[in-house]
Amino acid sequence: MKVAKYYNNKDIRTAEIPKPSISDDEFLVRVKKSGICGSDVLEYYRLSKMERLGVDSLILGHEIAGDIVEVGEKVKNYHVGDRVFVSHHVPCFECHYCEQGHHTACHLLHSTNFDPGGFAEYVRIPNINIEKQGVYVLDDEMSYEDGAFIEPLGCVCRAQRLADIHKGQSLLILGSGVSGLLHLKLAKAKGVERIFTTDISKYRLDKALEFGAEAVLNATENISEQVKQLNDGRLPDVILVCTGALSAAKQALECVGPGSTIVFFAVPKPGINLEIPINDYWRNEVKLMTSYGAAPPDLDESFEWIKSKKINLTELITHRFPLEQAQEAFRTVCDADESLKVLLEP
């Protein structure tokens, strides 16, 4: 079968490897759509993983949707022909962290995956992914492209749930790429009206306006003062950092007001530290938090939002490439010009 092997952001090679063989408690998925995630092009992250594993390449891809084409005889609830999304990571639901609601800190979640990765014609789904609630059968009204958004929207659902984002708040979204726009769309669906977004790209700012932002701001300007002017003299209730740029992380620290929450949905590279003006925050009950990944409860919520048609996500798709053009697809994502969501179609 064909796969796309990742060596670095500028070296993606199409190769042939054997199709995975399944055991009697697994199934095989023929991949139809596979989204390129922002984390797939975090070169420092991918290269460090390759070094840790002692390999020269990776087969990435975790935002998949496709058809079950083979089923082991011990698999009871899924059948050949089912259209599915499958989560690459699943928690154990039993450890201390799962019991405390921190499913994405679970050791099992950090160690599970499907084989080999979504940038392939076929993926083998291990039994643990099946048993730990990692499989979602797509409803008839859900397309494969809808299915490819279940995981990225699930990550957004988790962050907004942890931050208790709700109607009546004001939101500042730093970064209007795919994750920022997903946050915008979900918050709008929840009834949040006062949403301001930033970016350095006019194309992405125009998209944020199109998708419902109250105002968009050039990230190189004085964001805190502009938000005050737009928000009745107040700074935002919630600040969502949706870019790994250090400037955005620092900007978030400057935009807090009484009761503000900062959510680091994206973070700078390892080794970069932020100086926190903790005394300034002390009397204002400012909260700083992170959110990572998605667990089954978040994927459940994402599935329901997409199924309900209350959020149109496929309009975020700007490019579709066959697997043989994976290098061009990665270049499109890395250039971040007039592109948003890029899909590979194995």
In order of start, what are the domains of the chain with their CATH numbers? 2-154+294-345 (3.90.180.10), 164-290 (3.40.50.720)
Contact between 93 and 115 under an 8 Å Cβ cutoff? The reply is no
Contacts by 135-140 with C-beta closer than 8 Å and gap 24+?
A: 135/78, 135/84, 135/85, 135/86, 135/87, 136/84, 136/85, 136/86, 136/87, 136/299, 136/303, 137/78, 137/82, 137/83, 137/84, 138/65, 138/83, 138/84, 138/85, 139/307
pLDDT tens series, the chain, 346 aa:
999 999 999 999 999 999 999 999 999 999 999 999 999 999 988 999 999 999 999 999 999 999 999 999 999 999 999 999 999 999 999 999 999 999 999 999 999 999 999 999 999 999 999 999 999 999 999 999 999 999 999 999 999 999 999 999 999 999 999 999 999 999 999 999 999 999 999 999 999 999 999 999 999 999 999 999 999 999 999 999 999 999 999 999 999 999 999 999 999 999 999 999 999 999 999 999 999 999 999 999 999 999 999 999 999 999 999 999 999 999 999 998 899 999 999 9
Length of the chain: 346
- Give the Cα separation of 196 and 194 in Å (integer): 7
Amino acid (1-letter code) at residue 239:
I
pLDDT at position 337, please? 85
- The pTM assigned to this predicted structure is 0.96
Please give the Cα distance from 97 to 103 (Å, whole number).
6
Helix (H, G, I), strand (E, B) or coil at 300: helix
